[in-house]
Amino acid sequence: MTDTATAPKGPRRSLSGIKSTGTPHLGNYLGMIRPAIALQDTHEAFYFVADYHALTTERDPAAMRRATYEITATFLACGLDPARAAFFRQSDVPEVTELSWLLSCVITMGELERAHAFKARKAEGTEGTALHGLFAYPVLMAADIIIYDSHVVPVGKDQVQHVEMARDMAKRFNHIFGETFVLPEAAVQEQVMTIPGIDGRKMSKSYDNGVDIFLSKKKLKQRIMQIVTDSTPLEAPKDPATCNVVALYKYFATPEQVAAMEASYREGGYGYGHAKLALFEALDAHLAPMRERYEALMADVDALEAVLQAGAAKARRTAREVLGRARERVGYPRHAFPVPGE
């Protein structure tokens, strides 16, 4: 069986989603946003704001709306080209919720109980108060992926399990009902496995240790100065291998700059303050042009909405095609209802 057994032949498709909870940080940027955007050169790219998924935690509608536009502006500022790549809101393609149900009927409770987020709740003994939306999260995510005949899914390491579950659901459905879905594969940046936050733990919204991508220059500097280091005095030699500042510097400086910083660490007479300043400068040089574009984009929400609507129209055509194929396989009519403008 090949990955394209049933899908129409065409360019390979890359798909990913990012939750609209809070502002994207450098971990999101390096782990997912930048690699996903790079794939628009070689793949047909479909990327979306996962606002259905966000509803498992986000209870403030104004924050939901704001985060949706922030993420859209972030992708555009970082180089997403809406003429080539579709960028849309998950909830503008409600067909995914229907496919999610079909997939619910091929995956077991036992498999879903092994998904990281639910398993963590079980370990805590709080699974009884976990939302059904949390339990079913991997099913909706599988529907997101499968409904666009996606081949590659650029994601951070923490999402790999979910992509594997999506592949299993596609396989299971194909096995029961006949070849229907493309089998997707995760694409993880091996060299960007875990981006440290300012406290050295994995950069994560839940640890509040992130550096947001588009902080103002002043706030960015303040945040970088907060990076936790040990208390080795300025004069003493330091170990670059265990320093959070060096770890982040590696992603934004040239190899020569990194080598120079490492040499200064080993020599001594070079303080963490110097290193933080160098990191701030490298970061600011990288981010400033994008930050400017971001601010201009955020000033025109109607234009952002137009990008989302155009993306949704394109995504929805594919979604209806694939969902229709799945509906037919299980014994429903291909189209249940007409869609305006179709």
What the block records as the tokens of 177 is 């009902």
Confirm if 87 and 308 have CB atoms less than 8 A apart. Answer: yes
- Give min distance, CB of 339 to ligand TRP, in A: 22
CB of 181 to ligand TRP, least distance (A): 14
Quick one: 25 or 53, whose CB is closer to ligand TRP?
53
Residue 19: CB minimum distance to ligand TRP, A: 5
> Cβ closer to ligand TRP: 133 or 289?
133
Handedness of CA 207, 208, 214, 215 (dihedral sign): negative
Q: Which is nearer to ligand TRP, 50 or 283 (CB)?
A: 50
Report the nearest approach of ligand TRP to the CB of residue 98 (Å).
Answer: 16
**161 contacts 116 by C-beta, under 8 angstroms:** yes
Please report, as a single letter, which amino acid is at residue 336. Answer: A
Helix ranges (DSSP H) in 26-108? 26-28, 34-38, 51-54, 61-77, 95-104
The residue whose Cβ lies closest to ligand TRP is: 17
Residue 95 vs 144, nearer CB to ligand TRP: 144
Q: Which residues bind ligand TRP (CB under 6 A)?
A: 15-19, 50, 53, 141, 144-145, 153, 155, 159, 162
CB of 32 to ligand TRP, least distance (A): 7
Pick between residue 77 and residue 155 the one whose CB is nearest to ligand TRP: 155
CA-to-CA distance for 152 and 182, rounded, in angstroms? 10
Q: From CA 285, how far away is CA 288, in angstroms rounded?
A: 6
Distance of closest approach, residue 76 Cβ to ligand TRP, in angstroms? 19
CA distance 273 to 243: 12
- In the bound state with ligand TRP, the residue whose beta carbon lies nearer, of 158 and 305, is 158
CA–CA gap between residue 205 and residue 209 (Å, rounded):
7
